[in-house]
Amino acid sequence: MEPREKAFKIESEKIGFDLKHRQTIKHNIGKYFRSVEKGVNYFSDLDAAKNTASSIKDYVVNNLDHLLLKFEKNAKANNMEVLWAKTAEDVIKQVLAITERHKVKAVVKTKSMVSEELELNKILEENNIKSLETDLGEFIVQLAGERPYHILTPAMHKSKEDIAKLFSEKFGTAADASVEELTKYVRKLLREQFVQADMGITGANFLIADSGSIALTENEGNGLMTVSWPETQIVIAGFEKIIPELTDLDLFWPLLSVMGTGQKLTAYNSILSGPRADDENDGPTKVYVILFDGGRSNVFAEKDHNLALKCIRCGACLNYCPVYQNIGGFTYDTVYSGPIGSVLSMYLDGSEDTGHLNFASSLCGKCTDVCPVEIPLHKLLLLNRKKLVEQGNAGFIETKGYKYFAKYMGSRRKLEKIKSKWKNRAMKSFGKKAWGKRRAPLRFPKESFSKRYMNNRKDS
Ligand code: SF4
């Protein structure tokens, strides 16, 4: 077993029985469920909305080359500089060259999973550039020295008591400070940083091909501040974030919002269409957009799997996944966790040994059911499993175990031919591990149920 797979199993076992973790996640996901339950009613026909969004994203996946070039042409016409990056190293080189060119000493960032793929904060700090997360959840995990726990709600694993304790340790605030007191403290601290920063770095919720602009959606106004204050701006986005037209936001913004948080629309929605004009007061004087591959073309090259590129990162599949609900985000040990993370990670840069995550699913199909762009996630998990088995990159159970299972379970005659003592021996040896130590031991009786039933019938 690969070291990462082994660690995943050990950590899953541990965290799955951590009651405090379970309570926090249950509480936070419970709030999300109640909110989404209400939110879906904002759509008169949610299925039709999902269907339309899915068709648009199908069109995007099938026309990526053409749409990306269209975006590039229009973004350049908007005076933005567009750069292409194949690997994380390419992006980092480009970012560091820009920081050098503009003599950047301090950066403010908005929440961006792509920057997590790059470990950008760490790289900037190593190059003596102060980098500060401005989304409250990201700020909390940065302060704690952690990576985001969830693609949309990075600090979902922390209770308000955990956060008060963390702030007290780092800033000396009261250990029992209220949520209002803590947010007020952060707001003041961030305001000062926004003013001092030389550069803003954001991701993109959507790259709009026909207008050559960037759509950002958020709840705290930090994104708007990040694109308003600093003189220089970098947008780093995975190339799959493209949508064809500005008017598509009419559908994608509410859909992302409802499935992401249950809100009709998030509080701040911004469209960045280039540097500030001569008659404008706010905004950067220079805007760079980096279109990042980072293994996405590996996904694109796989027929069927490329449907995973439709993802708009709403996080719904994570929240509804019974596996995620029990083992949480960190256990996956990947940037993207939950069902979409399991599907994507083995194709993304540096994640070759994450194939085992495709087997960490009950295949209940809830992820597919809730996905706003109708990605057949449970089928993609199965396709990945098939691929791994064909490559010989799966364990004994997947490569051989299921063949025996099908052979014997498919035939009562064959199954009953094996004496109970052999079945019990098999369970004691290799079956014990799969059965797990938390279940009551499995004992096969001497006679099968059907034999006993038939014998009882004869007797009566
Ligand atoms: S796969 Fe679907 S449900 Fe999961 S994060 Fe992406 S868009 Fe949301």
Is 446 within 8 Å of 420 (Cβ atoms)? yes
Residue 286 pLDDT level (bands cut at 50, 70, 90):
very high
Partners of 288 in beta bridges: 81, 234
Cβ(341) – ligand 1 distance below 6 Å: no
What is the CA(314)–ligand 1 centre distance, in A?
5
CA neighbor of 381 nearest in space, from 352, 412, 358: 358
208 pLDDT above the threshold of 80: yes
What is residue 409's predicted lDDT score, i.e. its pLDDT? Answer: 81
What is the CA(225)–ligand 1 centre distance, in A?
27
| CATH among 3.90.180.10, 3.40.47.10, 3.40.640.10, 3.40.50.10420 for 43-294 | 3.40.50.10420
What is the CA(274)–ligand 1 centre distance, in A?
29
Is 263 within 8 Å of 317 (Cβ atoms)? no
The residue written with tokens 């980096």 in the block is 290
Say how many C-beta atoms besides its own lie within 10 A of residue 385's C-beta. Answer: 17
The number of the ligand 1 atom at minimal distance from the alpha carbon of 340 is 1
The chain-wide mean pLDDT, for the chain, equals 93
Map the chain to HEC letters. CCHHHHHHHHHHHHHHCCHHHHHHHHHHHHHHHHHHHHHHHHCCCHHHHHHHHHHHHHHHHHCHHHHHHHHHHHHHHCCCEEEEECCHHHHHHHHHHHHHHCCCCEEEECCCHHHHHHCHHHHHHHCCCEEEECCHHHHHHHHHCCCCCCCCCCCCCCCHHHHHHHHHHHHCCCCCCCHHHHHHHHHHHHHHHHHHCCEEEECCCEEECCCCEEEEEECCCHHHHHHHCCCEEEEEEEHHHEECCHHHHHHHHHHHHHHHHCCCCCCEEEEECCCCCCCCCCCCCEEEEEEECCCHHHHHHCCCHHHHHHCCCCCHHHHHCHHHHHHCCHHHCCCCCHHHHHHHHCCCCCCHHHHHHHHCCCCCCHHHHHCCCCCCHHHHHHHHHHHHHHHCCCCHHHHHHHHHHHHHHCCHHHHHHCCHHHHHHHHHHHHHHHHCCCCCCCCCCCCCHHHHHHHHHHHC
Q: What is the pLDDT of residues 360-406, one digit of tens each?
A: 999 999 999 999 999 999 999 999 999 998 888 777 777 777 888 88
Alpha-carbon span 346 to 342, nearest angstrom: 7
Q: What is the pLDDT of residues 153-179, one digit of tens each?
A: 999 999 999 999 999 999 999 999 999
Mutating to test ligand 1, I would choose from 258, 335, 340, 370 the residue with most ligand atoms within 8 A of its C-beta, which is 340
Stretch 93-109: mean pLDDT: 97
Cβ(340) – ligand 1 distance below 6 Å: yes
What is residue 418's predicted lDDT score, i.e. its pLDDT? Answer: 84
The residue written with tokens 């403290």 in the block is 185
The number of the ligand 1 atom at minimal distance from the alpha carbon of 308 is 1
Please state the separation of Cα 218 from the chain's center in Å: 16
What is residue 457's predicted lDDT score, i.e. its pLDDT? Answer: 84
Look at strands 232-238 and 106-109 and give their pairing.
unpaired
Percent of the chain surpassing pLDDT 70: 99
Is 307 within 8 Å of 380 (Cβ atoms)? yes
What is residue 52's predicted lDDT score, i.e. its pLDDT? Answer: 98
Please state the separation of Cα 233 from the chain's center in Å: 24
Mutating to test ligand 1, I would choose from 375, 377, 378, 384 the residue with most ligand atoms within 8 A of its C-beta, which is 375
Tokens representing 282 are: 């706010």
| pTM, 2 dp | 0.91
What is residue 259's predicted lDDT score, i.e. its pLDDT? Answer: 97
What is residue 371's predicted lDDT score, i.e. its pLDDT? Answer: 98
Is 343 within 8 Å of 363 (Cβ atoms)? no
What is residue 40's predicted lDDT score, i.e. its pLDDT? Answer: 96
Is 136 within 8 Å of 189 (Cβ atoms)? no
The number of the ligand 1 atom at minimal distance from the alpha carbon of 316 is 3
Stretch 406-419: mean pLDDT: 82
233 pLDDT above the threshold of 90: yes
Alpha-carbon span 338 to 105, nearest angstrom: 36
326 pLDDT above the threshold of 80: yes
Alpha-carbon span 134 to 153, nearest angstrom: 13
Domain parsing of the chain, residue ranges? 43-294, 397-459
Alpha-carbon span 225 to 201, nearest angstrom: 11
Cβ(373) – ligand 1 distance below 6 Å: yes
Partners of 107 in beta bridges: 131, 199
Stretch 225-252: mean pLDDT: 97
Least confident of 30-34, 245-249, 324-328, 399-403: 399-403
CA neighbor of 317 nearest in space, from 359, 378, 263: 378
Tokens representing 396 are: 């004994």
CA nearest ligand 1 atom 3, residue: 371
Map 191-260 to HEC letters. HHHHHHCCEEEECCCEEECCCCEEEEEECCCHHHHHHHCCCEEEEEEEHHHEECCHHHHHHHHHHHHHHH
Alpha-carbon span 374 to 259, nearest angstrom: 12
CA nearest ligand 1 atom 2, residue: 371
Cβ(316) – ligand 1 distance below 6 Å: yes
Is 235 within 8 Å of 288 (Cβ atoms)? yes
Cβ(85) – ligand 1 distance below 6 Å: no
Cβ(53) – ligand 1 distance below 6 Å: no
Q: What is the pLDDT of residues 424-458, one digit of tens each?
A: 888 887 777 777 778 888 888 888 888 888 888 87
Find all residues with CB under 8 Å of 444, minimum gap 6, and list them. Answer: 420, 423, 424, 427
Q: What is the pLDDT of residues 179-199, one digit of tens each?
A: 999 999 999 999 999 999 999
335 pLDDT above the threshold of 90: yes
Stretch 353-358: mean pLDDT: 93
What is residue 3's predicted lDDT score, i.e. its pLDDT? Answer: 86
| CA distances in angstroms from 178 to 23, 187, 191, 220, 389, listed in the order given | 20, 14, 20, 18, 52
The residue written with tokens 């001497």 in the block is 446
Stretch 346-351: mean pLDDT: 82
What is the CA(338)–ligand 1 centre distance, in A?
10
Q: What is the pLDDT of residues 10-59, one digit of tens each?
A: 999 999 999 999 999 999 999 999 999 999 999 999 999 999 999 999 99
